[in-house]
Structure 1
Amino acid sequence: MTTYDRIDEAVIDAPAAAVWEALVAELQGAKEWWVPHNTFELLSGAADRVGGRVAVTVHTKGSDNGGLKLRFTQRTVAVDPGRRLDVAYVDGVFRGTSVFRLEPLADGRTRISMHFVGTPSGFLKILSKVADLGAEHSKGALSAFESLGRKLAAPVGAGARG
C-alpha cells in the first residue's frame, strides 16, 4: 500500500493574520490562489471550525482544461486560529491527514507549511502504481503557495488604471 508523507512550505511576504485569512477563504471556496490545481467547496460548518467539511477537487490538467478530477472530502479536526489547521480526509480518493501551519517570522513574513499524509483509495490505488502522486501533490502545493505569495504581496490598487 502506498502512503505519501510530504511536507511542503514557503515563506510569504505578509503577516500571519493575512495568510490565515487567505487560507481559510480558499478552503471555503474563494478560488483565488490554489487554482488551477485544486478547488474547494464548503459542504458544512466552516473550514476553520472543528467538524467543518470541505469538498476538494484536484484538477490534474488544471481547473479549465478537462482531464482527470480527483475528489475527496476533508473534515477539520483541530484548529489553533492563526497558527494551525488540521484536517482528516474522510471520503473519496484519499484517506489521511493534512496539517497547515503558519509561523510568524521576525521580519513580518510568514512561513506556511502543509504536512500531507495520505493513502490512495479506490481507483487511485491503481494510478499510484504508475504515477508519483506525492511529487504531483508537492508540485501543486508549492505552486499554490507561490500564487498566495504573489496575491498577498500585490500592492493595494495594483492593476487599476486611472
Structure 2
Amino acid sequence: MHTYDIINETIIHAPTEHVWHALIAEFNGTTTWWTPHNTFQPGTTSPEHIGGTTHITVHPKGNTKGGPKIRFTATTTHTTPNRHLATDYTHGAFRGHATYTLTPLHHNTQTRLTMHFTATPHGWLTLLAKLTNIGTQHSTATHNAFTHLNTHLTTTPTTPRSTR
C-alpha cells in the first residue's frame, strides 16, 4: 500500500485569527473556499474541539460533476486556537493524519498556512490509487483551496463613494 506524506504551504494575506476562523468555518461546512474539490460536514462536536469530527467528501472531478466520491472522517486530536489543528483519519477511504499549522508573519498581517497530510488509502481507494496519482490531485486541490481562501480573506467590499 502507498502512504502519502504531503506538505502544502502558502502565505495568506490576513492575520492568523482570520485564517483560523475561516479554516474552522470550512470544516463546519459554513463556507466553501475548498469547493469544488472537497466538501465538509461537521459531526456532533465541532472540529475546533478535541474529539470533534468533520466528514470530508473529496470530489475528484468537482462537486457538481459525476465520478467517484471519496469519503472519510477527520477527528480532532489536538488544537491550539489560531495556531494548530491536528486530526486523525480513522473511518472511510483514508487512514492517517492531517495537521494544519498557522504561523504569523510580518507582525501578524500575513499567515503561513501549512497542511501536512500523511495517509494511506483504505478499501476501494487502494485500487484507485494504483490507477491515478492521488498525491498530485491532493496537492492541486489544496493549492486551489488555499488560493480561494486568500482571495476570500483579502477581498473587501467596495465602499460606495459620495457623489456630492
Shorter-chain TM band: over 0.9
Contact preservation (8 Å) 2:32, 2:39: no
Q: Is the 8 A contact 2:54 2:75 kept in 1?
A: yes
**Aligned counterparts, 1:1-162, within 5 A:** 1-106=1-106, 108-157=109-158
Give, in whole Å, the separation in 2 of the partners of 1:53 and 1:152.
25
| SS of the residue 1:44 aligns to | coil
- C-alpha separation between the residues in 2 aligned to 1:42 and 1:157? 33
> RMSD of the TM alignment (CA)?
1.1
Instruction: Kindly state the Cα deviation for residue 45 of structure 1 after the two structures are TM-superposed.
Output: 0.6
Q: Which runs of 5+ in 2 are unaligned?
A: 160-164
Secondary structure class of the residue paired with 1:98:
strand
Q: Which runs of 4+ in 1 moved over 2 A?
A: none
Q: Give, as a single letter, the amino acid of the residue that structure 2 aligns with 1:149.
A: N
Amino acid at match of 2:30: A
Most deviating of 125-134 and 17-26:
125-134
Amino acid of the structure 2 residue aligned with 1:17 = E
Count of aligned pairs between the two proteins? 158
Query: 1:107-133 CA deviation, whole Å, 9 max, x = no partner?
Result: 511110100000000010111112111
Counterpart secondary structure, 1:114: strand
Question: 1:73-98 CA deviation, whole Å, 9 max, x = no partner?
Answer: 11000001100000000100000000
- Listed as ranges, the gaps of 5+ residues in structure 1 are none
Q: How far 1:47 sits from its partner (Å)?
A: 0.8
Q: Distance in 2 between matches of 1:26 and 1:8?
A: 17
Larger Rg belongs to: 2
With normalisation by structure 2, the TM-score equals: 0.93
